[in-house]
Structure 1
């Protein structure tokens, strides 16, 4: 059995694992016995990302023609590959080029091709770009063949600083994650009591809100419709953040030009905020196929740009001050409608600037899939966010969709989160689903992934993409079912994590003038009782530095 990998990324791990590539840094100008160029020519170049040399790939005869190397591997093991790539020219008529990492598996003489990683928006002005992926070797496979692919054969490129290393599993990951949770999500509380008289005092410390965001998508109508009170009750009992599934999307909001319907989403937003729920805005623009209003088609570039500005002004004139976040250009690595139709290759950056100028206080996000549930877009997404940050774009955070099944490997998931976290910006898991029919398997997978998210220092919150089988994109991902919206095994597991495991409820008898405790970061209500009767109630917010609460009795 033979596997061929189509690749373009490199991530050098600090795990002490041996480097498996030959001539990974291209410092040897001889490519005999290491790299080869299938259907192309490889020469050495002094234009390098690191060191003194890189590989220059020219005279490509086909889309699959590119740099390649065979690597011996162990069946069933996880590996990571990374490299840096630089385009030397653009194909005629192309705004972007896509570099792919493919895997070709040859089993019993049959070839199977797998698209392992994409870098879909490369340009010559991108400079050196990192490309990377993680990969689990199929059973009975002992060698892989990695190569780079660009659809347009006329495009030449450089490659440098490559690596292929083992990504080891950690059998103790969960205990390590729980230790991290204690370290990064908790802080000390000191209650100083003044004017105590005698004994019989108790202090109750009750957390009312979590700093870490627990939320869900909601249906704009059902969250306010009196006939769906069970749906509303489950949401308000179990979540503190919300995002409207569809009501703020341009296509749904303004199906007819000049007649945006903002009453529907704002009724829901105001109801949620009235209950103390924080709301994310999803989304201002969406460029994948069929996700924009049909009436945009056929517009000239200047007319489309004006329509985009009008849309921003229409929306923010109604939402200003009501939303915590905006997903600015949804899934923009997968769709380029607004780039192609405006002629602006950097329209994403422009969108961020426009919205920031219109409402400076709202936090702006990218939002993308195939970043956590697979490694197809992980590094391209990291690269995009890194470039935006360096350009001074007002990008607050990186939204990661994670629609997956119960099978998702925790080691791979952590690697992908760590890769995106290299940007140095907050991460939000904006759309989380575990699509699994078996309730117990779903519950276990949900707990494991939520634990990893909670333990990651870059992650600030997790929003489920729905919770009830009567209103959800993927019914097998529901946490509650039936007309009474009753939790299933996964729902009960979530409730245990949210209400108990990651929530602080402490009652302590007073034996001196101070009471000490440790709690999860968030908002609290403090009650002092004397002989069972509440004599004082105070509210405070616990942040990472800890809190001293002074109580005068």
Structure 2
């Protein structure tokens, strides 16, 4: 019997359940906190390979490092911990010896406290090839702070964990110490599991006729129109005149950041002489090609990158110039950009705060939100995940700046931008730092990913995989805008737009993180077809042996969900 003038009811059931992949390793613990607590949490992974991680067995496993004196103490509530006192040098503390292996990924955590005030305390490993920094935290007196980090080593051999602080007047206290090794295969399994859990959903398609009877042998052909996860690349003005650059870019990316075109020194190099012709043209190009744009940036707190005429302005004149800049660029592009980097690198630098007062960033955020209420507003800085020793942009400092902006009265949306300019990535530390930032609940993007130095393709693959797989990363921009004179630190193509090894990495990951081809299948006797899809926009084409018309095509969206959902499409089939 032919199906004529009937309605095929297509039900789409979305479920976040995993696809059943097998993980051959203990799951990774993404938990972290930036709070200072009365009592430490239990050690992650029960301490991993640490002997006596909760100090329940005296000082077993722990020895003196340097010239400190160490002792075992207990709080009034019975919590036990190790103490380093009478410290004379920064490294004087307690230590434990491990056999660390090259090629392993080590995640590290500990809960720390100091005897008075507060002090930066770092976890260090003395290894056969040198000293490795595993992470640090500003520890306080009267409460416990979580240090979470990680490391890889360049040579296998005996290694000594110790803690250091330049403030030798404080005692260092530690509890719930954990060091957990993972093989590269196990680390990759964490990534695959996280991607499958957080970037995909199970989809069941059920085909029925208008009487509710299942349609067996209906064929579904599903094609992804647009991935949900924003993965893009920076662009510059060269894209306006080079068709090779245009074609290469448009075949890959649907989100971008303009490298320099929107910056103040580009749009107003001379006082009062504004020129938006380049960013206007670039935004028009992006809009025509369905490419979303992050606004970068309104202000830059680094004194070196101010327009030359701005540097010598008085406070009153600077306020006038700032307000003019704000009311020029933001309304011009309001509703046309998805986000703004409001005050670039205001953790490392303080040009505007030094001239206009400590609440300058909060004032800027308030004004931008008033002028463009639909845009996400970003803090954007470097060295938070690239290396563990930069105090200025640690996860804790991000939180302090966030709280400072909130205290200044800003209540709108705010997000964390991690520039991600790497040389040699410490992938376990990168994951741990994102874990700590994720505890804020704020959206997080990797905004300017590149690799400086050798092994660019290998390291780029590591960084992008780690970023995409982390459940709290909401988008990634690669910082590789093409220029015939060379890129900033890293190019993806040569000048004929043939991929370099870094470009091959990007193409391979785009294929892995999306459904670039068709997903096809046939319904069973119950009219069911099951598959698992990356989140994104899809087009499904339905055919059936009894349909008069050859096929019917409809669109649907697979979005992140927390509970099973059911959606239905009604497809009219004409004779």
What TM-score do the two structures reach when normalised by structure 1? 0.75
* Alignment counterpart, residue 361 of structure 1, candidates 352, 370, 374: 374
* Alignment counterpart, residue 537 of structure 1, candidates 525, 545, 553: 553
State how far apart, in whole Å, the 2-side matches of 1:499 and 1:65 are.
49
* Alignment counterpart, residue 515 of structure 2, candidates 503, 509, 512: 503
Counterpart of 2:230 in structure 1 is: 213
1:216-264 CA-partner distances (Å, limit 9, x unpaired): 0001x22221xx1111111111111010001112222222122232231
Q: Is the 8 A contact 1:12 1:165 kept in 2?
A: no
Going from structure 1 to structure 2, the CA distance change for 1:395 and 1:101 (only over 3 Å counts) comes to: farther
Q: Is the 8 A contact 2:219 2:523 kept in 1?
A: yes
Counterpart of 2:349 in structure 1 is: 335
Q: How many residues align?
A: 512
Q: Is the 8 A contact 1:189 1:519 kept in 2?
A: no
* Alignment counterpart, residue 149 of structure 1, candidates 156, 161, 166: 166
Going from structure 1 to structure 2, the CA distance change for 1:465 and 1:209 (only over 3 Å counts) comes to: same
Going from structure 1 to structure 2, the CA distance change for 1:452 and 1:52 (only over 3 Å counts) comes to: closer
* Alignment counterpart, residue 492 of structure 1, candidates 490, 504, 507: 504
Q: CA deviation at 1:468?
A: 4.5
Q: CA deviation at 1:89?
A: 8.6
* Alignment counterpart, residue 476 of structure 2, candidates 439, 462, 466: 462
Counterpart of 2:286 in structure 1 is: 272
Whether 1:550 and 2:570 are equivalent positions in the alignment is yes
Query: Is the partner of 1:295 in helix, strand or coil?
Result: coil
Whether 1:184 and 2:198 are equivalent positions in the alignment is yes
State how far apart, in whole Å, the 1-side matches of 2:498 and 2:420 are.
24
1:430-450 CA-partner distances (Å, limit 9, x unpaired): 111244656xx71x5444433
Q: CA deviation at 1:370?
A: 1.5
* Alignment counterpart, residue 315 of structure 2, candidates 301, 304, 325: 301
1:78-99 CA-partner distances (Å, limit 9, x unpaired): 4646566799899xxxxxxx95
State how far apart, in whole Å, the 2-side matches of 1:56 and 1:287 are.
40
What TM-score do the two structures reach when normalised by structure 2? 0.72
State how far apart, in whole Å, the 2-side matches of 1:302 and 1:103 are.
47
Going from structure 1 to structure 2, the CA distance change for 1:336 and 1:22 (only over 3 Å counts) comes to: farther
Counterpart of 1:403 in structure 2 is: 421
Q: Which runs of 5+ in 1 are unaligned?
A: 1-8, 91-97
Counterpart of 1:453 in structure 2 is: 467
Going from structure 1 to structure 2, the CA distance change for 1:390 and 1:369 (only over 3 Å counts) comes to: closer
State how far apart, in whole Å, the 2-side matches of 1:157 and 1:350 are.
38
Q: Is the 8 A contact 1:525 1:537 kept in 2?
A: yes
User: Which of 448-457 and 390-399 deviates more?
Assistant: 390-399
Q: Which has the higher contact order (CA 8 A, sep 6+)?
A: 2
State how far apart, in whole Å, the 2-side matches of 1:54 and 1:347 are.
43
Q: Is the 8 A contact 1:23 1:35 kept in 2?
A: no
1:323-382 CA-partner distances (Å, limit 9, x unpaired): 1011122222221222222231x4333332232222221101122221222223489532
Counterpart of 2:178 in structure 1 is: 165
Counterpart of 2:434 in structure 1 is: 417
Q: Is the 8 A contact 1:117 1:376 kept in 2?
A: yes
Query: Is the partner of 1:168 in helix, strand or coil?
Result: strand
Q: Is the 8 A contact 1:286 1:332 kept in 2?
A: yes
Q: Is the 8 A contact 1:329 1:366 kept in 2?
A: yes
Going from structure 1 to structure 2, the CA distance change for 1:173 and 1:301 (only over 3 Å counts) comes to: same
Query: Is the partner of 1:190 in helix, strand or coil?
Result: strand
Going from structure 1 to structure 2, the CA distance change for 1:390 and 1:129 (only over 3 Å counts) comes to: farther
Q: CA RMSD in A?
A: 4.9
1:64-123 CA-partner distances (Å, limit 9, x unpaired): 769754554545584646566799899xxxxxxx95859797999xxx99888688xx99
Counterpart of 2:306 in structure 1 is: 292
Q: CA deviation at 1:474?
A: 4.4
